[in-house]
Amino acid sequence: MKISILGTGYVGLSTGVCMAEIGHYVTCIDINQQKINQLRQGFSPIYEPNLENLLQKNTKAGRLTFTTSHQEGLDSAEIIIIAVGTPQGEDGSPDLSYIIQCAKDISPYLTDGAIVVIKSTVPVGTNENIQKIIMNRCNRESTIKMASNPEFLRQGTAINDTLHPDRIIIGANKKEVAEKVGEMYLPLNAPMIMTSIRSAEMIKYASNAFLATKLSYINEIANLCEKVGADVTDIAVGMGADKRIGESFLQAGIGYGGSCFPKDVKALELTANQHGIHFSMLKETMRINNEQQVILVTKAKKRFGHLRARKIALLGLSFKPNTDDMRDAPSIKIAKSLANEGAEVIAYDPVANSNARKILGNTINYASSVEDAAIDADAIFIVTDWDEIKHLDVNILKKMRWPIIFDGRNCLDENIINALDIVEYYPVGRPSIIHPHQQTH
Protein backbone atom coordinates (compact mmCIF):
# COMPACT_ATOMS: atom_id res chain seq x y z
CA MET A 1 0.00 0.00 0.00
CA LYS A 2 1.23 3.55 -0.65
CA ILE A 3 1.01 5.67 2.49
CA SER A 4 1.88 9.32 3.12
CA ILE A 5 2.35 10.68 6.61
CA LEU A 6 2.31 14.34 7.61
CA GLY A 7 4.51 15.07 10.63
CA THR A 8 7.69 13.25 11.58
CA GLY A 9 7.40 13.66 15.34
CA TYR A 10 7.09 10.83 17.87
CA VAL A 11 3.88 9.53 16.32
CA GLY A 12 4.40 10.28 12.62
CA LEU A 13 7.93 8.93 12.50
CA SER A 14 7.23 5.82 14.57
CA THR A 15 4.17 5.08 12.43
CA GLY A 16 6.08 5.69 9.21
CA VAL A 17 8.96 3.44 10.15
CA CYS A 18 6.65 0.65 11.35
CA MET A 19 4.34 0.80 8.33
CA ALA A 20 7.43 0.47 6.11
CA GLU A 21 8.66 -2.39 8.29
CA ILE A 22 5.44 -4.35 7.60
CA GLY A 23 5.87 -3.88 3.86
CA HIS A 24 4.13 -0.65 2.87
CA TYR A 25 5.67 2.13 0.78
CA VAL A 26 5.77 5.18 3.01
CA THR A 27 6.59 8.82 2.37
CA CYS A 28 6.95 11.04 5.42
CA ILE A 29 6.34 14.76 4.93
CA ASP A 30 7.45 17.45 7.36
CA ILE A 31 7.71 21.23 7.07
CA ASN A 32 10.93 21.18 9.07
CA GLN A 33 13.71 20.98 6.47
CA GLN A 34 16.38 20.26 9.08
CA LYS A 35 14.48 17.19 10.35
CA ILE A 36 13.96 15.92 6.81
CA ASN A 37 17.66 16.34 6.00
CA GLN A 38 18.61 14.45 9.14
CA LEU A 39 16.12 11.66 8.40
CA ARG A 40 17.35 11.31 4.81
CA GLN A 41 20.81 10.71 6.23
CA GLY A 42 19.40 7.96 8.43
CA PHE A 43 19.49 9.83 11.75
CA SER A 44 16.48 10.12 14.01
CA PRO A 45 15.78 13.60 15.41
CA ILE A 46 14.29 11.99 18.53
CA TYR A 47 15.61 9.41 20.97
CA GLU A 48 13.43 6.31 20.77
CA PRO A 49 14.75 2.76 21.19
CA ASN A 50 15.04 0.78 17.92
CA LEU A 51 13.73 3.68 15.81
CA GLU A 52 16.98 4.63 14.08
CA ASN A 53 17.78 1.04 13.27
CA LEU A 54 14.40 0.47 11.53
CA LEU A 55 14.66 3.87 9.86
CA GLN A 56 17.94 2.95 8.23
CA LYS A 57 16.83 -0.56 7.33
CA ASN A 58 13.61 0.53 5.59
CA THR A 59 15.16 3.54 3.87
CA LYS A 60 17.77 1.25 2.41
CA ALA A 61 15.07 -1.20 1.30
CA GLY A 62 13.40 1.64 -0.64
CA ARG A 63 10.17 1.52 1.37
CA LEU A 64 10.69 4.76 3.32
CA THR A 65 11.35 8.25 1.94
CA PHE A 66 11.27 11.77 3.35
CA THR A 67 10.32 15.09 1.81
CA THR A 68 9.19 18.62 2.58
CA SER A 69 7.16 18.76 -0.62
CA HIS A 70 3.46 17.95 -0.26
CA GLN A 71 3.12 17.54 -4.01
CA GLU A 72 5.91 14.98 -4.16
CA GLY A 73 4.98 13.28 -0.89
CA LEU A 74 1.29 12.83 -1.67
CA ASP A 75 1.81 11.49 -5.16
CA SER A 76 -0.46 8.42 -5.65
CA ALA A 77 -1.00 7.99 -1.90
CA GLU A 78 -3.85 5.64 -1.00
CA ILE A 79 -3.82 6.63 2.66
CA ILE A 80 -2.75 10.03 4.01
CA ILE A 81 -2.10 10.04 7.73
CA ILE A 82 -2.07 13.34 9.61
CA ALA A 83 0.15 13.06 12.69
CA VAL A 84 1.10 16.65 13.49
CA GLY A 85 1.06 18.18 16.97
CA THR A 86 -2.05 19.37 18.79
CA PRO A 87 -0.37 21.15 21.71
CA GLN A 88 -2.28 22.86 24.50
CA GLY A 89 -3.38 26.32 23.49
CA GLU A 90 -3.45 29.33 25.82
CA ASP A 91 -7.01 28.65 27.01
CA GLY A 92 -6.18 24.99 27.71
CA SER A 93 -7.90 23.62 24.60
CA PRO A 94 -5.84 21.89 21.88
CA ASP A 95 -4.32 24.17 19.26
CA LEU A 96 -5.61 22.75 15.99
CA SER A 97 -3.75 25.15 13.72
CA TYR A 98 -1.24 22.51 12.55
CA ILE A 99 -4.05 20.11 11.60
CA ILE A 100 -5.92 22.86 9.77
CA GLN A 101 -2.74 23.77 7.91
CA CYS A 102 -2.34 20.12 6.89
CA ALA A 103 -5.88 20.14 5.48
CA LYS A 104 -4.93 23.15 3.37
CA ASP A 105 -1.60 21.62 2.36
CA ILE A 106 -3.05 18.35 1.11
CA SER A 107 -6.18 19.70 -0.62
CA PRO A 108 -4.54 20.51 -3.97
CA TYR A 109 -3.05 17.04 -4.31
CA LEU A 110 -5.88 14.74 -3.16
CA THR A 111 -6.75 12.04 -5.65
CA ASP A 112 -10.22 10.53 -5.81
CA GLY A 113 -9.71 7.30 -3.91
CA ALA A 114 -7.38 8.63 -1.20
CA ILE A 115 -8.40 8.36 2.45
CA VAL A 116 -7.43 11.09 4.90
CA VAL A 117 -6.76 9.60 8.33
CA ILE A 118 -6.38 11.78 11.41
CA LYS A 119 -4.05 10.08 13.87
CA SER A 120 -3.32 13.18 15.97
CA THR A 121 -5.34 13.48 19.17
CA VAL A 122 -8.21 15.84 18.34
CA PRO A 123 -11.45 16.87 20.05
CA VAL A 124 -14.72 15.28 18.97
CA GLY A 125 -15.96 16.86 15.77
CA THR A 126 -12.52 17.78 14.42
CA ASN A 127 -12.54 15.16 11.63
CA GLU A 128 -15.83 16.61 10.38
CA ASN A 129 -14.43 20.15 10.43
CA ILE A 130 -11.29 19.09 8.61
CA GLN A 131 -13.39 17.29 6.02
CA LYS A 132 -15.32 20.53 5.42
CA ILE A 133 -12.11 22.52 4.96
CA ILE A 134 -10.83 20.00 2.43
CA MET A 135 -14.16 19.83 0.61
CA ASN A 136 -14.31 23.61 0.29
CA ARG A 137 -10.80 23.76 -1.04
CA CYS A 138 -11.17 20.83 -3.43
CA ASN A 139 -14.62 21.84 -4.51
CA ARG A 140 -15.76 18.22 -4.31
CA GLU A 141 -18.25 16.75 -1.89
CA SER A 142 -18.60 13.06 -2.34
CA THR A 143 -15.05 11.86 -2.72
CA ILE A 144 -13.32 13.06 0.45
CA LYS A 145 -12.94 9.94 2.55
CA MET A 146 -12.04 10.49 6.19
CA ALA A 147 -11.16 8.21 9.09
CA SER A 148 -10.16 8.75 12.69
CA ASN A 149 -7.39 6.42 13.82
CA PRO A 150 -6.10 7.61 17.20
CA GLU A 151 -2.68 6.49 18.37
CA PHE A 152 -1.91 4.76 21.66
CA LEU A 153 1.88 4.37 21.57
CA ARG A 154 3.95 5.38 24.57
CA GLN A 155 7.20 7.24 24.21
CA GLY A 156 10.18 5.13 25.13
CA THR A 157 8.43 2.03 23.75
CA ALA A 158 6.96 3.61 20.61
CA ILE A 159 8.23 1.05 18.12
CA ASN A 160 7.19 -1.96 20.13
CA ASP A 161 3.78 -0.41 20.89
CA THR A 162 3.20 0.38 17.20
CA LEU A 163 4.15 -3.10 16.04
CA HIS A 164 2.25 -4.84 18.86
CA PRO A 165 -0.75 -2.68 19.77
CA ASP A 166 -3.39 -3.86 22.27
CA ARG A 167 -5.99 -2.66 19.77
CA ILE A 168 -6.42 -0.49 16.74
CA ILE A 169 -9.32 1.95 16.71
CA ILE A 170 -10.73 2.94 13.35
CA GLY A 171 -13.53 5.46 13.21
CA ALA A 172 -15.21 5.94 9.85
CA ASN A 173 -18.67 6.71 8.62
CA LYS A 174 -18.37 4.34 5.67
CA LYS A 175 -17.64 0.62 6.00
CA GLU A 176 -15.38 0.48 2.94
CA VAL A 177 -13.24 3.33 4.31
CA ALA A 178 -12.80 1.56 7.67
CA GLU A 179 -11.95 -1.67 5.88
CA LYS A 180 -9.33 -0.03 3.69
CA VAL A 181 -7.64 1.56 6.73
CA GLY A 182 -7.88 -1.81 8.50
CA GLU A 183 -6.15 -3.46 5.53
CA MET A 184 -3.10 -1.30 6.19
CA TYR A 185 -2.79 -2.82 9.67
CA LEU A 186 -3.58 -6.45 8.75
CA PRO A 187 0.08 -7.63 8.97
CA LEU A 188 0.11 -6.59 12.65
CA ASN A 189 -2.53 -9.18 13.44
CA ALA A 190 -3.97 -6.93 16.17
CA PRO A 191 -7.58 -6.62 17.33
CA MET A 192 -9.42 -3.88 15.44
CA ILE A 193 -12.37 -1.96 16.75
CA MET A 194 -14.47 -0.11 14.18
CA THR A 195 -16.60 2.78 15.41
CA SER A 196 -18.07 6.05 14.22
CA ILE A 197 -15.62 8.90 13.73
CA ARG A 198 -16.88 10.74 16.82
CA SER A 199 -16.59 7.65 19.01
CA ALA A 200 -13.02 7.03 17.84
CA GLU A 201 -12.05 10.61 18.70
CA MET A 202 -13.65 10.18 22.12
CA ILE A 203 -11.99 6.81 22.84
CA LYS A 204 -8.58 8.49 22.72
CA TYR A 205 -9.41 11.17 25.32
CA ALA A 206 -11.38 8.77 27.49
CA SER A 207 -8.40 6.38 27.57
CA ASN A 208 -5.74 8.96 28.39
CA ALA A 209 -7.89 10.69 31.02
CA PHE A 210 -8.71 7.32 32.62
CA LEU A 211 -5.03 6.35 32.85
CA ALA A 212 -4.14 9.77 34.28
CA THR A 213 -6.93 9.41 36.83
CA LYS A 214 -5.67 5.94 37.78
CA LEU A 215 -2.28 7.54 38.46
CA SER A 216 -3.70 10.34 40.59
CA TYR A 217 -5.72 7.76 42.49
CA ILE A 218 -2.69 5.63 43.34
CA ASN A 219 -0.67 8.75 44.17
CA GLU A 220 -3.31 9.90 46.65
CA ILE A 221 -3.35 6.37 48.10
CA ALA A 222 0.46 6.71 48.40
CA ASN A 223 0.08 9.92 50.36
CA LEU A 224 -2.37 8.19 52.67
CA CYS A 225 -0.02 5.20 53.01
CA GLU A 226 2.65 7.53 54.40
CA LYS A 227 0.25 8.71 57.10
CA VAL A 228 -0.98 5.26 58.12
CA GLY A 229 2.30 3.37 57.80
CA ALA A 230 1.42 1.22 54.78
CA ASP A 231 3.50 0.56 51.66
CA VAL A 232 1.96 1.67 48.35
CA THR A 233 4.06 -0.76 46.31
CA ASP A 234 2.43 -3.64 48.22
CA ILE A 235 -0.96 -1.99 47.77
CA ALA A 236 -0.34 -1.80 44.00
CA VAL A 237 0.54 -5.50 43.84
CA GLY A 238 -2.50 -6.42 45.92
CA MET A 239 -4.85 -4.24 43.88
CA GLY A 240 -3.29 -5.07 40.52
CA ALA A 241 -3.77 -8.81 40.99
CA ASP A 242 -7.48 -8.19 40.60
CA LYS A 243 -7.98 -8.50 36.84
CA ARG A 244 -10.71 -5.91 36.94
CA ILE A 245 -8.17 -3.35 38.20
CA GLY A 246 -5.02 -4.53 36.38
CA GLU A 247 -1.42 -4.10 37.50
CA SER A 248 -0.29 -1.37 35.09
CA PHE A 249 -0.33 2.34 35.85
CA LEU A 250 -0.21 1.79 39.60
CA GLN A 251 3.36 2.97 40.12
CA ALA A 252 3.06 5.84 42.57
CA GLY A 253 5.59 8.66 42.51
CA ILE A 254 5.93 12.24 41.37
CA GLY A 255 2.91 12.20 39.09
CA TYR A 256 2.49 12.14 35.36
CA GLY A 257 4.05 14.45 32.80
CA GLY A 258 4.69 14.37 29.08
CA SER A 259 3.14 15.89 26.01
CA CYS A 260 -0.17 14.05 26.30
CA PHE A 261 -1.73 13.30 29.69
CA PRO A 262 -1.60 16.89 30.97
CA LYS A 263 -3.03 18.39 27.77
CA ASP A 264 -5.55 15.62 27.08
CA VAL A 265 -7.06 15.60 30.59
CA LYS A 266 -7.47 19.37 30.38
CA ALA A 267 -8.96 19.14 26.87
CA LEU A 268 -11.53 16.54 27.94
CA GLU A 269 -12.52 18.59 30.95
CA LEU A 270 -13.03 21.62 28.68
CA THR A 271 -15.09 19.60 26.19
CA ALA A 272 -17.28 18.38 29.04
CA ASN A 273 -17.67 21.95 30.28
CA GLN A 274 -18.70 23.17 26.84
CA HIS A 275 -21.48 20.61 26.94
CA GLY A 276 -22.66 21.51 30.44
CA ILE A 277 -21.04 18.57 32.19
CA HIS A 278 -18.87 19.45 35.17
CA PHE A 279 -16.34 16.67 35.10
CA SER A 280 -15.01 17.49 38.56
CA MET A 281 -13.22 14.13 38.78
CA LEU A 282 -10.82 15.34 36.09
CA LYS A 283 -10.24 18.57 38.01
CA GLU A 284 -9.17 16.48 40.99
CA THR A 285 -6.95 14.31 38.78
CA MET A 286 -5.11 17.47 37.70
CA ARG A 287 -4.98 19.00 41.19
CA ILE A 288 -3.52 15.86 42.74
CA ASN A 289 -0.97 15.61 39.95
CA ASN A 290 0.12 19.24 40.33
CA GLU A 291 0.79 18.76 44.01
CA GLN A 292 2.39 15.37 43.52
CA GLN A 293 4.98 16.76 41.12
CA VAL A 294 6.65 18.76 43.90
CA ILE A 295 6.30 16.19 46.67
CA LEU A 296 10.06 15.59 46.83
CA VAL A 297 10.66 19.29 47.46
CA THR A 298 8.13 19.22 50.30
CA LYS A 299 9.83 16.15 51.79
CA ALA A 300 13.30 17.69 51.49
CA LYS A 301 12.16 20.92 53.16
CA LYS A 302 10.78 18.88 56.02
CA ARG A 303 14.07 16.97 56.32
CA PHE A 304 16.44 19.94 56.10
CA GLY A 305 14.31 22.76 57.54
CA HIS A 306 15.08 24.93 54.53
CA LEU A 307 16.90 24.32 51.27
CA ARG A 308 19.00 27.49 51.01
CA ALA A 309 22.51 26.63 49.79
CA ARG A 310 21.75 22.92 49.86
CA LYS A 311 23.20 21.12 46.87
CA ILE A 312 20.63 18.81 45.28
CA ALA A 313 21.53 16.27 42.59
CA LEU A 314 18.55 15.82 40.27
CA LEU A 315 18.81 12.42 38.61
CA GLY A 316 16.73 12.19 35.45
CA LEU A 317 15.11 15.07 33.58
CA SER A 318 12.97 13.52 30.81
CA PHE A 319 9.31 12.91 31.72
CA LYS A 320 9.92 9.14 31.67
CA PRO A 321 12.86 6.85 30.85
CA ASN A 322 14.02 5.97 27.31
CA THR A 323 13.02 9.31 25.81
CA ASP A 324 14.66 12.71 25.50
CA ASP A 325 11.27 14.44 25.66
CA MET A 326 11.04 17.25 28.20
CA ARG A 327 7.49 18.39 27.37
CA ASP A 328 5.67 18.91 30.70
CA ALA A 329 8.29 16.83 32.53
CA PRO A 330 7.86 16.94 36.33
CA SER A 331 11.59 17.74 36.52
CA ILE A 332 10.87 21.26 35.24
CA LYS A 333 8.60 22.10 38.14
CA ILE A 334 10.91 20.39 40.64
CA ALA A 335 14.01 22.22 39.36
CA LYS A 336 12.28 25.61 39.42
CA SER A 337 10.84 24.99 42.84
CA LEU A 338 14.25 23.97 44.25
CA ALA A 339 15.87 27.03 42.69
CA ASN A 340 13.17 29.23 44.26
CA GLU A 341 13.97 27.72 47.65
CA GLY A 342 17.59 28.81 47.17
CA ALA A 343 18.99 25.32 46.54
CA GLU A 344 21.86 24.71 44.16
CA VAL A 345 20.62 22.17 41.61
CA ILE A 346 22.88 19.96 39.52
CA ALA A 347 21.07 17.66 37.13
CA TYR A 348 21.95 14.65 35.04
CA ASP A 349 20.00 12.80 32.38
CA PRO A 350 21.44 10.17 30.02
CA VAL A 351 19.87 11.82 26.94
CA ALA A 352 17.72 14.84 27.89
CA ASN A 353 20.34 17.31 29.19
CA SER A 354 20.38 19.36 26.01
CA ASN A 355 16.57 19.50 25.65
CA ALA A 356 16.35 20.43 29.33
CA ARG A 357 18.83 23.25 28.84
CA LYS A 358 16.49 24.80 26.24
CA ILE A 359 13.75 25.00 28.88
CA LEU A 360 15.59 25.50 32.17
CA GLY A 361 18.66 27.36 30.89
CA ASN A 362 20.91 28.50 33.70
CA THR A 363 18.32 27.94 36.44
CA ILE A 364 20.24 24.75 37.17
CA ASN A 365 23.64 23.22 36.40
CA TYR A 366 24.12 20.14 34.27
CA ALA A 367 26.38 17.17 35.01
CA SER A 368 27.75 14.68 32.53
CA SER A 369 27.27 11.62 34.77
CA VAL A 370 25.45 10.46 37.88
CA GLU A 371 28.77 10.67 39.71
CA ASP A 372 29.42 14.28 38.65
CA ALA A 373 26.00 15.27 39.91
CA ALA A 374 26.36 13.45 43.22
CA ILE A 375 29.76 14.78 44.32
CA ASP A 376 29.30 16.83 47.50
CA ALA A 377 25.53 16.79 47.15
CA ASP A 378 23.37 17.12 50.27
CA ALA A 379 20.70 14.96 48.67
CA ILE A 380 19.80 13.07 45.54
CA PHE A 381 16.34 13.41 44.00
CA ILE A 382 15.49 10.48 41.76
CA VAL A 383 13.17 12.02 39.17
CA THR A 384 13.26 9.62 36.20
CA ASP A 385 13.68 5.87 36.55
CA TRP A 386 16.36 5.30 33.92
CA ASP A 387 18.13 1.94 34.37
CA GLU A 388 21.48 3.57 35.12
CA ILE A 389 19.83 5.64 37.87
CA LYS A 390 17.93 2.71 39.41
CA HIS A 391 21.15 0.71 39.60
CA LEU A 392 23.60 3.49 40.37
CA ASP A 393 27.00 2.56 41.72
CA VAL A 394 26.96 2.44 45.54
CA ASN A 395 30.41 4.04 45.66
CA ILE A 396 28.96 7.18 44.11
CA LEU A 397 26.85 7.74 47.21
CA LYS A 398 30.01 7.82 49.32
CA LYS A 399 31.03 10.98 47.44
CA MET A 400 27.99 12.88 48.67
CA ARG A 401 28.16 15.08 51.75
CA TRP A 402 25.72 12.65 53.31
CA PRO A 403 23.82 9.99 51.36
CA ILE A 404 20.25 11.17 51.55
CA ILE A 405 18.02 9.98 48.75
CA PHE A 406 14.52 11.16 47.88
CA ASP A 407 13.20 8.60 45.41
CA GLY A 408 10.35 10.02 43.32
CA ARG A 409 9.86 6.73 41.45
CA ASN A 410 10.30 4.15 44.22
CA CYS A 411 12.83 2.57 41.94
CA LEU A 412 16.21 2.46 43.67
CA ASP A 413 17.63 -1.05 43.66
CA GLU A 414 16.96 -2.73 47.05
CA ASN A 415 20.56 -3.98 47.13
CA ILE A 416 21.83 -0.41 47.07
CA ILE A 417 19.57 0.66 49.89
CA ASN A 418 20.67 -2.35 51.93
CA ALA A 419 24.35 -2.03 51.01
CA LEU A 420 24.69 1.30 52.73
CA ASP A 421 24.32 1.53 56.45
CA ILE A 422 24.54 5.30 56.44
CA VAL A 423 21.73 6.04 54.08
CA GLU A 424 18.56 8.00 54.59
CA TYR A 425 16.06 6.86 52.01
CA TYR A 426 12.75 8.66 51.42
CA PRO A 427 10.50 6.99 48.84
CA VAL A 428 6.89 7.97 48.00
CA GLY A 429 4.09 6.19 49.84
CA ARG A 430 6.42 3.75 51.55
CA PRO A 431 8.10 3.82 54.95
CA SER A 432 11.34 5.81 54.94
CA ILE A 433 14.56 4.02 55.86
CA ILE A 434 16.84 5.84 58.26
CA HIS A 435 19.75 3.68 59.30
CA PRO A 436 20.84 3.74 62.97
CA HIS A 437 24.28 5.27 62.34
CA GLN A 438 22.58 8.38 61.11
CA GLN A 439 24.16 11.59 62.35
CA THR A 440 22.73 15.06 62.26
CA HIS A 441 23.45 16.73 58.99
Ligand X SMILES: O=C(O)[C@H]1O[C@H](OP(=O)(O)OP(=O)(O)OC[C@H]2O[C@@H](n3ccc(=O)[nH]c3=O)[C@H](O)[C@@H]2O)[C@H](O)[C@@H](O)[C@@H]1O
Ligand Y SMILES: NC(=O)C1=CN([C@@H]2O[C@H](COP(=O)(O)OP(=O)(O)OC[C@H]3O[C@@H](n4cnc5c(N)ncnc54)[C@H](O)[C@@H]3O)[C@@H](O)[C@H]2O)C=CC1
Question: What residues are labeled active site?
Answer: 260
Burial class from Cβ neighbours inside 10 Å (0-12, 13-18, 19+) for residue 227 reads: exposed
Judged by the rule CB under 6 A, the positions of this chain that interact with ligand Y are 6-12, 29-32, 35, 83-86, 98, 101-102, 105, 120-121, 151, 153, 155, 259-260
Least distance to ligand X from the beta carbon of 311, Å? Answer: 25
Say whether residue 154 binds ligand X (CB under 6 A).
Answer: yes
Least distance to ligand X from the beta carbon of 109, Å? Answer: 28
Which residue lies nearest ligand X, judged by its C-beta? 260
Say whether residue 366 binds ligand X (CB under 6 A).
Answer: no
Say whether residue 119 binds ligand X (CB under 6 A).
Answer: no
Which option in ligand X, ligand Y, none does residue 257 bind, with CB closer than 5 to 8 A by kind? Answer: ligand X
What is the per-residue burial (b if ≥16 Cβ within 10 Å, else e) of 153-181?
A: bebbbbbebbbebeebbbbbbeeebbebb
Strand ranges of the sheet holding 25-29, from the earlier edge strand across to the other edge:
64-67, 25-29, 2-6, 79-82, 115-118, 145-148, 168-171, 192-195
Decide whether 72 or 234 has the Cβ nearer to ligand Y: 72
> Are 51 and 36 spatial neighbours (Cβ–Cβ below 8 Å)?
no
Least distance to ligand X from the beta carbon of 95, Å? Answer: 15
CA distance 70 to 82: 12
Residues 227-256 interacting with ligand X (rule: CB under 6 A): 249-251, 253, 256
Where are the alpha helices (H) located in 61-185, listed in sequence order? 70-73, 97-106, 126-138, 158-163, 175-185
Decide whether 121 or 285 has the Cβ nearer to ligand Y: 121
Which stretch in 49-57, 148-156, 226-234, 347-355 sits in contact with ligand X by CB under 6 A?
Answer: 148-156
Q: Which positions make up the binding site for NAD(+)?
A: 30, 35, 86, 121, 263, 327
Which CA distances in Å does 19 have to 75, 327, 435? 17, 26, 53
Decide whether 151 or 407 has the Cβ nearer to ligand Y: 151
The count of residues interacting with ligand X (CB under 6 A) is 20
Say whether residue 70 binds ligand X (CB under 6 A).
Answer: no
Q: Which positions make up the binding site?
A: 30, 35, 86, 121, 204, 249-253, 257, 263, 320, 327
Which amino acid, 150?
P
Say whether residue 216 binds ligand X (CB under 6 A).
Answer: no
Q: Which residues contact 102 (CB under 8 A, 6 or more apart)?
A: 6, 7, 82, 84
CB atoms near residue 242 (< 10 Å)? 9
Phi and psi, residue 32, nearest 5°: -90, 105
Site string for ligand X, 251-290 (x = CB under 6 A): x-x--xxx-xx-----------------------------
Which CA distances in Å does 2 have to 14, 73, 75? 17, 10, 9
**Residues at the contact surface with ligand X, assessed by CB under 6 A:** 121, 151-155, 208, 211, 215, 249-251, 253, 256-258, 260-261, 319-320
